[in-house]
Structure 1
Amino acid sequence: MIKALIFDVFGTCVDWRNSVAREVETAFPGIDSLAFADAWRGEYDPAMRRIRDGGRGYVALDDLHRENLHRVAKRFAVSAPDSLSHVWERLNPWPDVVSGLHALRRHAIIAPCSNGSIALMTRLARHAGLPWDCILGADIARDYKPKPEVYLASCAALRLPPEEVMMVAAHNDDLSAARALGLKTAFVPRPTEYGPAQDKDLVPSEEWDAIAPDFETLAKELFA
């Protein structure tokens, strides 16, 4: 029985690419705002990898986003205010997400298991209308996915064994890490997360416990 669903957020629940690009275009008219968004996101994993590998102590994603913003702004020959890093708190949800989360929440606890901090996830939830029961993920584990501690800390915080928790993500590697720890898994593809030329995570790489085109369908498949 699934008693809780925990969710990847960036890409799975919200459209980071177009949301970031819109604010970048306002801040820097005339530059390629989608390229800037892609470059900013491109710094995401390398920044976290240094922490996962032990080369740096835990630093909240809010601070990594700000550091990465200035690194990318220099590359694009613009000067970015620190305040622009808060765009990650103002990302818009995919069309099915809010209604789908409400449908799922009628049957189970729902919470983010994101690399975003508690502060970031809370403000993003308020902006996007995401009806979480609580905020889980990197901040409580003091580490970043796909490290096992992040998934296990989320389960432990809910006082549930991994087999009663389902990880929902649009990224196969996220689900693979969760499955290895005993969590149930659900794949919901977001084929335009990285734009029209996206070439990864278009299809499931394994036979996940659930595969659905959107959150509303996932609710029906799990709890019909």
Structure 2
Amino acid sequence: MEQVRALVFDVFGTVVDWREGVARDAAPFLERHGRADIDPRAFADAWRRRYQPAMEECRSGRRPFTRLDILHRENLEAVLRDHGLDPAAIAEAELDELNRAWHRLDPWPDTVAGLTRLKARYIIAPLSNGNVALLLNMAKRAGLPWDAILGAEVAQAYKPRPEAYLRTADILGLRPEQVALVAAHNGDLKAARGCGLRTCFVARPREHGPGQTTDLAPSEAWDVVATDFVDLAAKLRC
């Protein structure tokens, strides 16, 4: 890690708690539309399950690159239909507002303190599948002290496509080995390592709720393994 100059971060699940944030905004929406019987966390999970398949349409070339806000909105309408709600009967402004739940996610308790310490030594930026407006709004609300707002929209590629990692390093004017990805997802780290980036695993054992069974521990010997961002800062002597 001695030559690393920048830390880039997976965001959904690693930096912020997407499940609780989406559920918080979904609960009153569902109640207003007569579906208080739907568990808002299960609704968030169902919305999230459509995330990877939607991006795969772009990764595969079957669809041109499309920003995540648009994919999220399409997925929201599909999830509403799955739950017996007709999105055509709901005001566009209300659908847009719920879609922006992804802009209002809360950071994990250690996130801001850890990022602030890491920023003192490293360039810090998101390497997320989120689009710029989403990541910018999230950062302003949550106080995330990024040096730059990067993401799939900047790289024009969704992880784990190699372009997502390599173009991010290039945009920062750095070689891949001068950049380390921080993520709570082993698959993301594996793809980054395959592109020459350094790797930092931070466990987020409640990303998917109390019954989470994936990414509870590192699957490989990553360059750094930490319990949270504060621990990561300490291990990187920040």
TM-score normalised by the chain length of structure 1: 0.98
Task: Report the aligned-residue RMSD.
Answer: 0.9
Indicate the residue corresponding to 1:131 in structure 2.
145
User: Separation in 2 of the partners of 1:164 and 1:223?
Assistant: 17
Ranges in structure 2 where 5+ consecutive residues have no aligned partner? none
User: Separation in 2 of the partners of 1:32 and 1:108?
Assistant: 41
Identity %, equivalent residues:
54
Partner secondary structure for residue 57 of structure 2: helix
CA deviation map 1:82-111 (0-9, x unaligned): 321000000000000000000000000000
1:13 Cα deviation from its structure 2 partner = 0.4
1:135 Cα deviation from its structure 2 partner = 1.2
User: Separation in 1 of the partners of 2:184 and 2:123?
Assistant: 19
Partner secondary structure for residue 114 of structure 1: coil
**Contact 1:24 1:36 (C-alpha < 8 Å) held by counterparts:** yes
User: Separation in 1 of the partners of 2:209 and 2:230?
Assistant: 23
Indicate the residue corresponding to 1:151 in structure 2.
165
1:155 Cα deviation from its structure 2 partner = 0.3
Partner secondary structure for residue 204 of structure 1: coil
User: Separation in 2 of the partners of 1:192 and 1:83?
Assistant: 26
Indicate the residue corresponding to 2:10 in structure 1.
8
CA deviation map 1:102-151 (0-9, x unaligned): 00000000000000001111011111111000012211121100000011
1:159 Cα deviation from its structure 2 partner = 0.4
User: Separation in 2 of the partners of 1:28 and 1:192?
Assistant: 24
Give the total of aligned pairs.
224
Indicate the residue corresponding to 1:33 in structure 2.
40
Indicate the residue corresponding to 1:72 in structure 2.
79
Indicate the residue corresponding to 1:51 in structure 2.
58
The equivalent position to 2:68 in structure 1, one of 52, 61, 69, is 61
1:223 Cα deviation from its structure 2 partner = 2.0
Matches within 5 A, 1:106-121: 106-121=120-135
Partner secondary structure for residue 109 of structure 2: coil
Residue 98 of structure 2 aligns with an amino acid whose one-letter code is L
Greater Cα radius of gyration, structure 1 or 2 = 2
User: Separation in 1 of the partners of 2:138 and 2:96?
Assistant: 18
**Contact 1:115 1:144 (C-alpha < 8 Å) held by counterparts:** yes
Partner secondary structure for residue 198 of structure 1: coil
1:26 Cα deviation from its structure 2 partner = 1.1
Indicate the residue corresponding to 2:136 in structure 1.
122
**Contact 1:137 1:153 (C-alpha < 8 Å) held by counterparts:** no
User: Separation in 1 of the partners of 2:106 and 2:84?
Assistant: 27
User: Separation in 2 of the partners of 1:215 and 1:2?
Assistant: 17
User: Separation in 2 of the partners of 1:16 and 1:130?
Assistant: 15
